[in-house]
Structure 1
């Protein structure tokens, strides 16, 4: 996997975070080290963002199903779609990372 593909995957993560309403710049900026970008921190933040989106969507579903008058069906559906899209993005990145790992392990030294 080339650097360009890794940069493209990172750009997709950032786009997904922006689409789900998260501040991608803040979480990415916090993970900068003197040597460059701390991949572990970026990955951890992305997973936490997906988890919080899913928890938020589940809380809205629960509130709507209990008859909370402040929760509309449209708001619940949008929240569920955001959580779904962010999860699909995370799975795409995971699949690319697994493919990259397989490619590196198959390299002959």
Structure 2
């Protein structure tokens, strides 16, 4: 039995360099990143609700699309809650510091 080598496609670093330059130049602050991330979570929640309504109305025949949209929204909200919890823990830790 012959085993062939993997054919890997090269990874472009253009997007990574652009994000790194944005961070280095300070074009976005933490509040803007947070607002953008919360907007994306909200959009996923809206997409999930729309998919559910479309399934109930008979516009969608594929249940897997609704399930995937619901799971994406669920994972995004869980991640958001975990980030929130970590931020609160960090804030409380800073408040406990003695100066």
- 1:88 and 2:53 are equivalent in the alignment: no
Question: Greater CA radius of gyration, 1 or 2?
Answer: 2
Distance 1:58 1:104, change over 3 A: same
Once the two structures are superposed, what CA deviation does each residue of 1:58-83 show, in whole Å capped at 9, x if it has no partner?
00000000111x44110000000000
Counterpart in 2 of 1:98?
88
Distance 1:107 1:97, change over 3 A: same
- 1:46 and 2:65 are equivalent in the alignment: no
Counterpart in 1 of 2:98?
108
- 1:76 and 2:66 are equivalent in the alignment: yes
For CA contacts below 8 A with separation 6 or more, give which structure has more relative contact order. Answer: 1
Counterpart in 1 of 2:57?
66
Question: Under a length normalisation based on structure 1, what TM-score does the superposition of the two structures give?
Answer: 0.67
Q: Structure 2: state its 5+ residue gaps.
A: 1-14
Q: Structure 1: state its 5+ residue gaps.
A: 1-24
Question: Under a length normalisation based on structure 2, what TM-score does the superposition of the two structures give?
Answer: 0.73
